[in-house]
Amino acid sequence: MNTNHTTQFTIDDLRRIMRESAGQDEAVDLEGDILDTHFQELGYDSLALLETTSRIAREYGIAIADEDLDGAESPGALLQLVNQALTRV
């Protein structure tokens, strides 16, 4: 578990955890420019997102409130949310 306050959570970190949490739809290229793509379009439903954010929270030692998650509908928005939480650690 990494609780170092200088940690940055990057799109590649997110890609890795997304794959661990819910694999990858055959029709989706996670390596492409996905920052502003809706999670639904990437094949990630609410349960897959719950698993993804739960793994991020565990690995980085942060807490993300459920109500904040509701607004994070794309990888870019989730990145921002995680990095905000990391600055609070």
Interface residues with other proteins (CB under 8 A) are 19-26, 43, 47-48, 50-51, 54, 57-58
CB 20 within 8 A of CB 55: yes
Task: Using the structure block, give the residue that is written with the tokens 């990095």.
Answer: 83
Nearest distance, CB of residue 83 and other proteins, angstroms: 20
Nearer to other proteins, 19 or 38 (CB): 19
Task: Using the structure block, give the residue that is written with the tokens 């990858």.
Answer: 24
Nearest distance, CB of residue 88 and other proteins, angstroms: 17
Rounded Cα distance, 42 and 38, in Å: 7
Nearer to other proteins, 43 or 76 (CB): 43
Task: Using the structure block, give the residue that is written with the tokens 């639904």.
Answer: 40
